Amino acid sequence: MQQWAVVTFVLLCALNSILLWPQQVAPARREVYIVPFSHLDLFWAGTQEEGLSRGNRIISKAIELAERYPNFRFLVEDDDFVADYVDGHRGSPELAGEVPSSWANLTTSLSPLWPPVITATDTLLSAEKFAAINYALRYSQYPGVEFEAMWKDALKSMDHNNDGQGGEIGDERKLGYAQEVSLRAGQILRDSLRNIAERVQHPFPRSTPIVVFNPLSWTRDDKVKTHVTLFGDIESNDIADYKKGMRLVDEKGTAIPFQVEEVSEWFSRALDMVFVARSVPALGYKTYYLVPRDKSAVFPNACQTKMENDGNLNVSSRIMGSDVMENEYYRVSVDRATGRVSIWDKELNRMVANDIEIAASEERGGDDLSIISPTGRTIVNIINNVELDENGPVQTVMRVTGEVAGVPIVQRLTLCQGIKRVDIEDRVDWKPGRSMNIEQVFPLPQEKVEVRNGTPFGSVAAMDMMPNAGPRNNDEIPRDIWKRWRQIQDWVFAGTREWGFTVSVDHQFLTVGDSALRAGMLRGTRFSPVNVVRGGRPYQNLWPPPSEYIFHYSFTSGRGDWAAAKSWRSGMALNTPLIPVVSANELSQKSLPPARSFCSLDADNLVVTALKKADKDEAIVLRVFEIRGDSAETPVQFLGHARRFLPANLLEEADPKQERDLLRVGPYEISTVKLRPTP
């Protein structure tokens, strides 16, 4: 990445110039501004010499543009480029806090483009981790060149110039970058996981192993959904023993509840099944085995249910009530008339969410950039039906169908056995034309709550707004709308020191209201910021395009604040699920135990954000950050041993004389270390 050095610095300065206005940061005698990166050509590949040349040209363009802005002074690249920049800003005031996006509605109006970016990034991070583990175990080479190319493509997919001049061409290309990264990184991830799964021991003579992998840095209990194909040893249809009965067991032979959602059969038999994996080690795996038995194990249903009897609704004296499902942690009620969802926490002995619903804010029309004109009216979800979709030993699913202004929406609410969490899936069959913003609404059950959400490498509270931040240009949204907006990463918490709830999400946009959190899903627009004429007539570019859009949430509650709840773990778990791999190879050497952690830390306030091979040497790079605001001290376990390591900077530069055996991380600190691949 050496050829990116100059460009990266300009990019970082550009971001700094966007977030920190010059009059706030620099003394009057010396104002510094670097042109925003959207005006520059930053994406390229070449030698170091070409990179330096490109860096000079970028800065030349910036200086050229500076002639229009005499109050701004631009930095010029020379031998002391960075040193001059730092020295010139000594004593400048420091600012901290959140600067919400002035264009966050892009994520709801241009919704086809943004969720794929999140998926691509999460897949790429997991692929790097397990490719590094394969490299350290000497199972395969590390595909560093491919990873570098994919990270560049992921960056290109996030370019903000959406729906502009030539927007359709560019938007299609950016979506393609994200999809390509997901496919390529997904293949590397699958290959890496299979390299491990095929080496896991089979303690049962006749079994189909399911190796469940955990890409996150803590031990997890979570639901697993997998596809299993059953074959005979000689002929593929020699599976009569499996047809008699099956059990899912762990390495000790303990039966595990599982639920078959679909069966397909020809010569072999294929199953789509779900089960709950427990105590899956950090950055490791745990194996379960599907074994034939004369009789399948019988388990009770995950939930008790009480559904309204539709036949009785015809009785004139009876009104609509609620459908209920409950496990050991929650009682979830769905109002048959309104579709609103209420959640009772049995441990807290209180209602923790009342009237969760899907609704839409009506608008008079607007664009996908900054023009928003709400009417003040709310369009409710008209409920067509509430029914029990599944009720088995693993999960119970309630299905709610309705329409918001003619847009069909199907909501699935899921409770699992032994997991304190309510999963919500919203499927929106969008049809353009109506100006409205469809939202998943989570009312706040308490007054004066703290609202805190995840961000890259940390979290931020709603009150932590940077002083004097806010929209300034004509193409940005009104300030009264902007101040309630949040672009979140993975999770949001609402509560007090006594108790609260965490909502995990797989998309970014959230509005913090006085009485509710409103997760934006789809916002219909009437026109584009760019005036388009086709055939001599104005053309309305309606976003989003017609399609089925799927949004996922999970809800959990408990005693204490966001730190006690470890809200970040819930959010990251939603977007980085456990990964099952079915092992069909009985011939290779089985050198690995049924369960193992490849990398772990003792401190529960540290998050592993990267595990990869170093760019310039054979070391393994581990990057962590502290999220809770406390200090942490921990040994680093890697491949079953406590490892000595070298502290490194973000460029992976380390002093070989500074070897250590305890990782000490300060509050909110990002720490990078380098390990030897072998002890």
Q: What is the residue whose two structure tokens read 């994406």?
A: 43
The residue type found at 424 is I
**Check whether domain 304-575 has CATH 2.70.98.30, yes or no:** yes
Q: Do the two domains 208-298+578-582 and 598-679 of this chain adopt the same fold?
A: yes
Per the model's pLDDT, the better-predicted residue between 374 and 161 turns out to be: 374
Q: What are residue 49's DSSP bridge partners?
A: none
3-state secondary structure of 168: helix
Cα distance between residue 140 and residue 665, in whole Å: 32
The arithmetic mean of pLDDT across residues 581-608, rounded, is 92
| pLDDT at res. 435 | 93
Per the model's pLDDT, the better-predicted residue between 29 and 198 turns out to be: 198
Question: Domain 598-679, what fold?
Answer: Immunoglobulin-like (2.60.40)
Residue 587 has pLDDT above 80, yes or no: no
Residue 568 has pLDDT above 80, yes or no: yes
Q: 44 pLDDT band (50/70/90 cuts)?
A: very low
Beta-carbon neighbour count of residue 595 at 10 Å? 18
Residue 554 has pLDDT above 70, yes or no: yes
> Could you tell me the two tokens for 344?
């009772």
Alpha carbon distances (Å) from 4 to 41, 63, 146, 290, 490: 12, 20, 16, 49, 29
| pLDDT at res. 103 | 83
The arithmetic mean of pLDDT across residues 609-635, rounded, is 96
pLDDT digits (tens, 9 = 90+) for 273-325: 999 999 999 999 999 999 999 888 899 999 999 998 655 555 555 677 899 99
| pLDDT at res. 279 | 97
Q: What is the residue whose two structure tokens read 């999400």?
A: 505
| pLDDT at res. 343 | 98
| pLDDT at res. 217 | 97
The residue type found at 404 is V
Ranking 29-33, 392-396, 401-405, 640-644 by mean pLDDT, the lowest is 29-33
Domain boundaries, the chain: 2-87, 208-298+578-582, 304-575, 598-679
pLDDT digits (tens, 9 = 90+) for 143-177: 999 999 999 999 988 877 777 666 778 888 889 99
Residue 409 has pLDDT above 50, yes or no: yes
Ranking 126-140, 334-348, 361-375 by mean pLDDT, the lowest is 361-375
pLDDT digits (tens, 9 = 90+) for 173-206: 889 999 999 999 999 999 999 999 999 999 998 8
Cis, peptide link before residue 100, omega less than 30° from 0: no
User: Would you say 442 and 491 are in contact if contact means Cβ atoms under 8 Å apart?
Assistant: no
Ranking 2-16, 254-268, 496-510 by mean pLDDT, the lowest is 2-16
| pLDDT at res. 30 | 33
pTM for the complete prediction? Answer: 0.86
Cα distance between residue 243 and residue 659, in whole Å: 57
Ranking 48-57, 61-70, 547-556 by mean pLDDT, the lowest is 48-57
- DSSP notation for 107-144: HHHTTTTSHHHHHHHHHHHHHHHHHHHHHHTTSS---H
Cα distance between residue 92 and residue 98, in whole Å: 19
Alpha carbon distances (Å) from 330 to 55, 327, 422: 57, 6, 8
Per the model's pLDDT, the better-predicted residue between 368 and 2 turns out to be: 368
User: Would you say 278 and 221 are in contact if contact means Cβ atoms under 8 Å apart?
Assistant: yes
Those residues whose C-beta lies under 8 Å from the C-beta of residue 308, and which sit 6 or more positions away, are 320, 321, 322, 323, 336, 386
Cα distance between residue 561 and residue 379, in whole Å: 33
Alpha carbon distances (Å) from 356 to 380, 384, 421, 422, 597: 12, 17, 15, 12, 38
Most confident of 24-33, 113-122, 590-599: 590-599
Q: 588 pLDDT band (50/70/90 cuts)?
A: confident
Residue 52 has pLDDT above 90, yes or no: no
Question: Domain 208-298+578-582, what fold?
Answer: Immunoglobulin-like (2.60.40)
